[in-house]
Amino acid sequence: MYADDMGTGGPAEAAVDRPGRRRAQEALVGVASEPGSAKPDPILVADNVTRRFGGLTAVNVDHLEIPRGAITAVIGPNGAGKTTMFNLLTKFDTPQTGSWTFNGQPVQGRRAHQVARLGMVRTFQLTKALSRLTVIENMRLGATGQRGEKFWAGLLPFLWEQQEREITERAEELLQWFKLDKMRDEFAGSLSGGQRKLLEMARALMVRPELVLLDEPMAGVNPALTQSLLTHVKQLREDGMTVMFVEHDMDAVHDISDWVVVMGEGRVIAEGTPDQIMADQRVIDAYLGAHHDGAVKTVAGHDVAADEVAPPKLDREAE
């Protein structure tokens, strides 16, 4: 895990070679580009997940497998059910039907904090950093559930103190990695929107997750911090983590993802590599292309009206 490298100046952010990326992409060679396709080593497998709000079916996913060690983007028009799906998978919401396993273990019957302890955590579209707590206090809260969870640690103060010390050390390391260490004692409310997104991601990592779900991590973040965020997400993959992220910015999707899941009206309507997805006529029709609902999209860093959007041709990440 990357935490071990962090004490010595942080992970190799500038690393040109990305074995994690190569591994993830090689593992996906030969995987069918179709909804519900089987993956060689899925970390998450979901079946028959439905969530209705009154008469509206927000999520209706027959089968979904998320490849381990890869970055999977979840894209789709507004209201497609992406956030609701994240809420369900991490038990922030309850479906009408469905079952899913994480690392082969059923998630049913567990609550959100227990799911986090299993190793699956999420961040939110609107950051949840508690503005009247300092940055370090927010980080320490991210470890909730670790603290005092062992019976003997609760009884023996020195064990508890040791755990507290470890939590603080990890928080300090993560803050350093995200370059938030100078803001350590500032109120989270005084951070910029982008810095709060970084804090949110750093806080999610407090529980040493294996799968991180990021809901629109780049939304509202200025270009300089966007790069930093993308670099951090790529580094998670290098450190062996699996990432799922909801994103509308197709540049970001193409830049960092190994696999793309497209949702429409609650269903998974397509899956594939970024190149396959951007050339998929159904996806162009449903989301990327002329029939999109008039929203403005970002292509190659420029905002254009949706009906001007051809399947984007974007520069690939430097190998």
Ligand X SMILES: Nc1ncnc2c1ncn2[C@@H]1O[C@H](COP(=O)(O)OP(=O)(O)OP(=O)(O)O)[C@@H](O)[C@H]1O
Distance in Å, CB of 280 to ligand X, minimum: 18
**CB-nearer residue toward ligand X: 20 or 81:** 81
φ, ψ for residue 67 (rounded to 5)? -70, 135
Which listed residue (16, 29, 53, 319) binds ligand X by CB under 6 A? 53
**CB-nearer residue toward ligand X: 138 or 226:** 226
**CB-nearer residue toward ligand X: 210 or 251:** 251
The token pair at 88 is 């369900």
| Residue 56 sits in the site that holds ligand X (CB under 6 A) | yes
Distance in Å, CB of 266 to ligand X, minimum: 7
Distance in Å, CB of 16 to ligand X, minimum: 33
The token pair at 86 is 């994240």
> 234 and 143 in contact (C-beta within 8 Å)?
no
The token pair at 74 is 């979840």
Specify the DSSP element, H or E, that contains 196. helix 193-204
Q: Which stretch binds ligand X (CB under 6 A): 50-58, 60-68, 95-103, 285-293?
A: 50-58
Distance in Å, CB of 77 to ligand X, minimum: 7
CA distance 82 to 14: 31
By CB under 6 A, the count of residues binding ligand X is: 11
| Residue 234 sits in the site that holds ligand X (CB under 6 A) | no
**CB-nearer residue toward ligand X: 53 or 158:** 53
Distance in Å, CB of 35 to ligand X, minimum: 16
Q: Which stretch binds ligand X (CB under 6 A): 51-59, 147-155, 186-194, 221-229?
A: 51-59
> 90 and 112 in contact (C-beta within 8 Å)?
yes
Q: Give me the 165-184 binding string for ligand X, x by CB under 6 A, dash otherwise.
A: --------------------
Q: Give me the 57-96 binding string for ligand X, x by CB under 6 A, dash otherwise.
A: -x-----------------x-xxxxxxx------------
Distance in Å, CB of 229 to ligand X, minimum: 18
**CB-nearer residue toward ligand X: 66 or 143:** 66
HEC sequence for 227-263: HHHHHHHHHHHHCCCEEEEECCCHHHHHHHCCEEEEE
Strands (E), 87-241: 97-102, 105-106, 120-122, 211-215
Distance in Å, CB of 58 to ligand X, minimum: 3
**CB-nearer residue toward ligand X: 79 or 145:** 79
Residue of 123, 103, 131 whose CA lies nearest to 206? 123
Q: End-to-end CA distance of the chain, in Å?
A: 23
The token pair at 44 is 């998450």
Distance in Å, CB of 8 to ligand X, minimum: 39
At 59, is the secondary structure helix, strand, or coil? Answer: strand
Q: β-pairing, 296-299 with 211-215?
A: unpaired
CB proximity list for 195: less than 8 A, separation 6 or greater: 180, 183, 225
Residues that bind ligand X (CB under 6 A): 53, 56, 58, 76, 78-84
